[in-house]
Each structure stands twice: as C-alpha cells, then as structure tokens.
Structure 1
Amino acid sequence: MVRGENNRSQDKNSGAFFVATLVLWSVSIFFEILFNRRTELVSIVAGCFFFQFANWVIRFTLSRDPLFVNTSVSLLHSSLTSISVILILINQWIAKGPGMFEHSQLFAATWPGAYPALCFSCGYFAYDQWDMLHYRLFSGLIPSILVHHLILLVCFTLALFRNITINYLILTLICEVHSIFLHTRKVRRMAGIRDAKSKIVKVEWVLSWIAFFVARLASHMLIIIKLIKDADKFDKGIELPLALFGMVGMNLLNVFLGIDLFKAFRREINPPQNHQE
C-alpha cells in the first residue's frame, strides 16, 4: 500500500516537471511565431493538431484505451516520418551523391523538405508528450520515454530556431523505421495476436531486429562518429556540445531499449508454462 502511494507520488512529481517543460516549450514556439514572425514554424503547430486529430479519430472509431490510441498514433507518425526521411535522402543522393554527407551540407544547408519534415515531427513529439502526461502512460521518477521526448524537443527546437544542423537531425529520424516495428508489436499484442509460432510474429521480430541494428543503433553511432570527426569544423558555440549531448543521450537510450527489446523477445518466444500438478 505504501509502495503504491510512493509510486503515485513519484509519477505525480515527475509529471509536474515534464508538464512545466512542455508549457515553456509551447510559449517559446508561439513567441517565435507571433513576435518574431517565424511563420515556417507553424508546421510544428500543424503537426501537433494533426496527430491530436488522429488521436480523436482512433479514439472514437476503434478504441478508447489510451495506450492503444497512443501507440496507434505513434505508429502513424513513425510510418509517415520514415517515408518522408527516406524520400528526402533518396532525393539528395540523386542530386549530390556522397557529397550530401559533407559537414557543410549537414551543418548549414537544409535539404529540400527537411525543415517542414522536422517541424512536423517536432509537433508530434510535443503532442505525444502531452498525451502520455495526460493519461499517465509512464511510470517512475525519471521515465525514459519522457526524457527521450524532452531531449528531442530541445534539440529539434533549437535547431529549427537557428536553422542549423537540420540535416543532421533528419538523419537521426531514420530510427523511426525501427519504431514502426516497435509500435506494430504493441498494437498486435493489444489486439490479442501473441502466438510466437505464427509466421507473422516471426517475420516481425526478424525485421524488428534488423531495423534496430541498422536504422537505430548503427545510424546513431555513425552520426556521433561523424560529429567527433568533424568537431574542428564547428564554430565555437553551443552547437557541437548540444549535438554531442543529444546523441550520447540517444545512444544510451538505444542501449536500454535494446536490453528491453531482448527481454521482450525472450518472453515472447519462451512464454511461461502453466504446470499442472
């Protein structure tokens, strides 16, 4: 009883902190749009409303379960973002080839479609942060998912405000390819499809592990290696420390995610057996 009350107290305290950061973030966005006339940032607000609208549609047509709705919207975001990022990268590869990964391109330039794509995704993370806080879809004093979203909101917003490192951040969003499988698995299990011997489940796990190592782990490691390699090309400012901080944080979260994913994999392929005496 006491432990349950302590957990609720921890959730409440951590929730209050993240609500406060989200409010401050919202104020900064509207200040830039209204007073500094940064109309290009309206795409962030559009992203928030788009995914909130998707939330309402799913809630009133499929299920009112907050976790199911949240996961379904997350799946929608991962799918849309993956498609947009892949198209942006293909377009740039055709236009510039390997030169697209030069420091000048990644730091100061902005690939066609990259800015609105990053804005739209930023809007999603703000929406998702609010949705999880509103429905208490987190636990613990320092919920990793809320920390993850906060790191992304800080990094994305500062980059969008200053219009730098946009392309670097687009590269980080390649991990959304793996997120598709994470969200698909959650939706599948909530729908009652849990047979580990099913071909669908087996294929899903194979693709999930491939995407984890390629689209998430390897891509983020390559980005941090690129940052370190090009460290002397950055101006003396906040950009490099912030980029390194963000990528180190994301790589640590990737490690924890990998551990959790492996545990989930073992549980699913080796479900507990009911022994009868």
Structure 2
Amino acid sequence: MMITPWSEWDLDALCARLLLIGFDLDNTLANSKRPMSAAMAHRFSELTRRIDVAVITGGRYELVVSQILDVLEPTADLARLHLMPTSGTCYRRWKDGRWERVFSHDLNADQRARARASLERRAREQGLWVERVWGERIEDRGSQITFSVLGQQAPLEAKRSFDPDGTLKERLAAAVAVDLPDLKVHAGGYTSIDVAGQGIDKAFAVRELASITGVPVERMAFVGDRMEPGGNDYPAAQAGVRGVSVTCPADTLVLIDGLLERLPAPERSVRAGDR
C-alpha cells in the first residue's frame, strides 16, 4: 500500500503508469457541500479530456450534480467520467445523453429503519445528539444511511474542531455496529457515521471500477483529504491504488496542474452538443 502527500509524488513516474485517477469530493475537489471553484472546474474539465476520472464520495448523487456536474465546462469529456456517490454503493456513467445508473446497492426498508433507530439511540446514549445542528441530522441516501453529529450543512470549521482525533466518532460507530451485524458501519467524514451493505466502502468502489473498466488497480491513483488509517479515503489505498494525500482543494488544484503538464493533450475537442 502506497500513500504519499501530493507534494512528494514524482509526477513524471506517476503519470507514466496512470490510466485512471479518482478523487474524493468534499474538501478535496470542493469545500464541503459547495460547488467546485471556477478554477477547479476548468482544470477538472480539462483533466477528463486527458484521462479517465472517477469521483468516489460519501455524499449522495444530488451533491455530485450540484458540486461537480453543474459547474463543468462544455469541453469536459463526460464519457471519461465515472461517478460513484454514497461511498461507491452507486455507479453512474454517461450514455446516450444521460447519466445512466450502472448499479445501486440499496438497503431495504427494514435495514434503513434499523440503521436510523440505532444511530439515534446510540448518539443519545453517548451525548452526541447535540442541541444545535446545521441541516438534516440523519440522511437516507437509499444505499447508505448517514448520521452527521452537527448536521449535514455544518461549517467545516465546526466539523474539524468537534472531534479532532476521531475518538467520539469511532466510539459511536462501534456501538452502532453491535446493533447492525448484517451491515457495514464506519466513520465517514469529520463528524459522520455511514451505514451501508457489508463489504461496501471506497475499496469496494475501486475494485468495481477495475472490474468494469479493465484498468488494473495498480494503474490507478486516488486523491483524498482523509487518507490516514481510519479516514474514509483510506480504504481506496488499501485496495491497491496509489494514494495521494491532500489537505484541501488548493492542494488538489496544484496537483491537477502538474498532471495536466504531463498527461498527453487530447486529440479531439468535445463539443457541448456531444454532452
């Protein structure tokens, strides 16, 4: 397993073997729940013309639309874009002028109800059902139930300062896992817990990408801000991709600039009408 900070990578060596690059979304491509900046949208759009690009995020598909798709430039090559929201439990590709769902591993009604009940009960027991929240506290994403201690729309500064070493989040995840032995419970973002089907995380997403695209995992890279053990991007590196650690979208912007300098320029333009 190889995880290296973005500034320490030999980009010439990386690009020489790279056939697909994946990105986390929040705090990697864009600030939490916010659209990509104009500068990022430009670089990201250009990157899709050079290489296959995957977005693997714990967020729901609607956030992928508002944070990425809605701000892409007309020149982006959508056919080379792989969208894997809710930690890879769902996979969409551009086909015949629309984003077609290739698969979605949805939880059934009983699993969703038990997940919601356990998350609330255990959070109350542990004093994590806090009085002030920003937005929805428990979100049903179909293939994933996500509990956010401070709410889905909490500001990044509040998230980072609430549980800096992850102790509270890990304790909550462990308690919920006892209630839901048939499901996978894991710490997600800074203050969130995700519940999905067994064996489904970003490692699962990477392996599915390799199987469907034919690109070996060792010829992929994944860029994320939570690449440390216990972070929600760490499983991607465990699957065998080259892990690239960033701290914020500004790091990712500089990284993509380096990739664009080294990856071959596209041979054709993608017209808006082709989208």
> Could you say which TM-score interval applies, normalised by the shorter chain?
under 0.3
Which has a greater percent of helix? 1
Tell which structure's C-alpha radius of gyration is larger.
1
TM-score, normalised relative to structure 1 = 0.27
Q: Choose between structure 1 and 2 for higher RCO, CA contacts under 8 A separated by at least 6 residues.
A: 2
Which has a greater percent of strand? 2
TM-score, normalised relative to structure 2 = 0.28
